[in-house]
Structure 1
Amino acid sequence: MIKINQIHKVFNKGKANQIDAINGIDLKINIGEFLIIVGSNGSGKTTLLNLVAGSVLPTSGTISVDSNNVTRMPDYKRSQWIARVFQNPVSGTASDLSIIDNFRLAAIRTKPKGLSIGVDDAFKKQVKDKIATLGMGLENKTDQPMGTLSGGQRQALTLLMSIMDSCKVLLLDEPTAALDPRSAEVVMKTADKLIKDFNLTAILITHNLKDAYTYGTRIIQMSEGIILKDLNTENKTKLKQNDLFDWFG
């Protein structure tokens, strides 16, 4: 569970170019919830995600994950609970390393570093089995450099890598924005399956209301650093897609 209590974020405080990006947000996101954040550019949605991730520190307020106060905890320490997938597929992978080596780095991301076997047969099988679930035929190419793959392939693998160390929270920062429609669909279906299979608490930023309706269990709309609307979308039999478009119009 994520609890956000009276979070404020001010950039360039006291200066002529001061920006009040987040203005006193209170938000509770339950375990297993797939929260979608929508809003125009400058609404504060990316800043809010960055605050949860720890890459931006709040001006005031608190953030907790599973009752752990992470408000000013460095992002490398938060990584024991939180994984993040960025908009650019390149950001979440090491291009020159093989697929299997990328997965190994993801698996030890939060563990103490020391002398150990890097990649053994058991680990290779574990990774190949996970990759096979994508249906992309990459399970037999794990020695191939990550940089030789398409953006959609890399983003799908990044999603699998994000849960290699048993994280509790998955942050998705417009992960399909740079992808073609077919790759975007694979990535979203993969994300949805992982969230359900591992009972993750997830936050997705998107401009795609169709994806928001299809995959989200809850949607919030942000504007000028506040939550303007908050809608539970879990019961799709009562909420139609066109109703959603009208509601967030």
Structure 2
Amino acid sequence: MKKALLLSAAALLLAVSCNRRPVRPAFGTVSVDTLLGDSGAGCRIEYRFATILNAAESPALQAVEQANIRYFFQTGEQTGSVREAIAAAVREIDTIYTADIRPTQSYEISVEAEGSVQDSLLTYVITRSSYTGGAHGIYETEYHTYSLAKGYEITTADLFTEEQAERLDELILRKLCRQYGARNEEELAAQGFFPEQIGATENFRIAPEGIVFCYNPYDIGCYALGAVEVTVSREELDER
């Protein structure tokens, strides 16, 4: 059975050769500001993509850069350069939204990202906000954590034993009850939560105190609840 990997960020990764350290990423920003349509009936797009300037120096960094392009621009399994991804994303937005924009309608789509390194982990954070009609805009934050040595993305399967994973959903539910002063699922639901959707998510970040599970509006509750975070420590998972 796997050992739990909640001791530290460094413990989440395979050991690297004593003779060669992983190449550390050098981040830069690719910025795009464009308006589809016109100011009276258009869609303004703002991109701030955190690119790895030295990705060519390491297969691991190349893999991370390609994964970040897919996540940031939501291109599925397509690969290519950042500029190619930008062009494809803008074309798709133009096809989906601008053809149906009403004469006085104005849409906005903004996506930003930042990257950081801690020990042997590379963390990439993407923040989205948009208004494309309706009563209000929408926002979300997504986290991706990679092995700096190997370039693969860390998942919950890498972090928890099978036994811990079986208890995780229940633990998250209990912690939410404590955070929001609810005694049970019914009282959580009364506050706007969707109890049937509460559970572990792959949208997490690694912190010194444990794993922080991050939920965007509508993931496990109504829009009014906003973003919700639940921190789970190793000690809590090991409790009986």
Structure number with higher strand proportion? 2
Which protein shows a greater Rg?
Answer: 2
TM-score by length of 2: 0.26
